[in-house]
Amino acid sequence: MAREVHPELEGSAYPLLAYIGIEGKVRVTDIGLHFGVGKGTVSRQIKALEELGLIRRESDPLDGRVSLVSLTEEGDRRYTSARNARMGSIRALLGTWQPTDVATFADLLHRFNEVIENS
């Protein structure tokens, strides 16, 4: 998925890009908390995403010590395109399933994700 966004994007940086894409403007510290990684790891990934022109960093107007990151227009375009392509692939894979099977799968996947998040 990362290579679909940008040929130089590392796979480990894609989840951060997706999180920023979903959340909009987000504090760098919140990214670390969300993924359970340290400041150094987040800083390296953020720097790489910035250098690729996929995100921008700015100071929080309420607290200048805090950095906020968001997708650039190019980052949003690339992320949205890759996400839509992936969703199309998933729809095609599930296209032969009965609607009740898809609903059951979605329910079980949701339940599984809740267990993971709460563990």
- Output the pLDDT for position 73: 97
- Predicted local distance difference test score (pLDDT) of residue 45: 94
At 97, is the secondary structure helix, strand, or coil? coil
CB atoms within 10 A of CB 27: 15
Q: Which two tokens stand for residue 69?
A: 């990151």
Does the pLDDT value for residue 70 go beyond 80? yes
Encode pLDDT of 90-115 as tens digits.
Answer: 999 999 999 999 999 999 999 999 99
- Structural domains of the chain in order of their starting residue, each with its CATH number: 2-118 (1.10.10.10)
Q: Summarize pLDDT for 38-64 with one digit per residue, the tens.
A: 999 999 999 999 999 999 999 988 888
